[in-house]
Amino acid sequence: MSSPTRGESTGVLRSATVDALLPRQRAEIAPGAVHVPGWLSAVQQRELVTACRDLARPPHGMERVRLPGGGLMSVRTLSLGRRWRPYRYTGEPVKPLPDRLVELGRLAVAETLGGPYDPDVALVNFYDDAAKMGMHQDKDELSAAPVVSLSLGDACVFRFGNTETRSRPWTDVRLESGDLFVFGGPSRRAFHGVVRILPGTGPHDLLKGRLNITLRESGRQLAHRLP
């Protein structure tokens, strides 16, 4: 597994010509954070896009989430398994997390960080050309289990930082359709965000825009054990 120096870009700063010639490599971006390019086959990508389209319909479909400050997030979000609202999981009704996503999550963890994985929630985010996501931590889960991220459609610049601050050091990673990114262990609480979408870079006819699915263990069963 190749490990880029922290602060370097993986694939972002190279020219499009060089990118097209070099196979993209699996890389450990930080301890516990693994990028696996092209993890999903073209058939799997198509199946996931179709499933997300169905799940995104009402009731309990995809919508723009309002932040506590009053503004709307630029992505559209679909909660599966449990409904997420900034910054907690609520008891409101949602569609169940499909078994296929649980299976893919287990396989993703087994092939990267190892260990058991029992995801019970997913957030599916849709990005149009202008959408982005600021640097944040995924810290609404009580479980320390990894986050599994699957990307579909247009590529994006994904910024993976550190656990202390929103600022450097970080690594910019180009996430393309079919890529897997898993972060757990010492990187579970790392700040991360989507700097920009690279319009028109996805597989022909798959999707206009970008979909990202993140699977998580909410740790709901741990709640009653807290003081």
169: preceding bond cis by omega (within 30 degrees): yes
One residue of 82, 159, 174, 192 binding ligand SIN per CB under 6 A: 192
One residue of 120, 138, 172, 179 binding Mn ion per CB under 5 A: 138
Query: Closest approach of Cβ 110 to ligand SIN, in Å?
Result: 21
Q: If you ran DSSP here, which 8-state letter would residue 63 be given? A: B
Give the H or E element holding residue 123: strand 121-127
Closest residue to ligand SIN: CB criterion: 212
| Structure token pair of residue 82 | 């449990």
One residue of 112, 149, 177, 218 binding ligand SIN per CB under 6 A: 149
Residue 206 · residue 45 · CB < 8 Å: yes
Number of H helices, E strands in the chain: 3, 14
Instruction: Tell me the per-residue interface mask from 110 to 139 with ligand SIN, x by CB under 6 A, - otherwise.
Output: -------------x-x-------x------
Which residues, in sequence order, are bridge partners of residue 177?
A: none
Give the H or E element holding residue 90: strand 88-90
Query: Closest approach of Cβ 132 to ligand SIN, in Å?
Result: 9
Contacts with Mn ion by CB under 5 A lie at 138
Contacts with ligand SIN by CB under 6 A lie at 123, 125, 133, 149, 158, 175, 192, 194, 212, 214
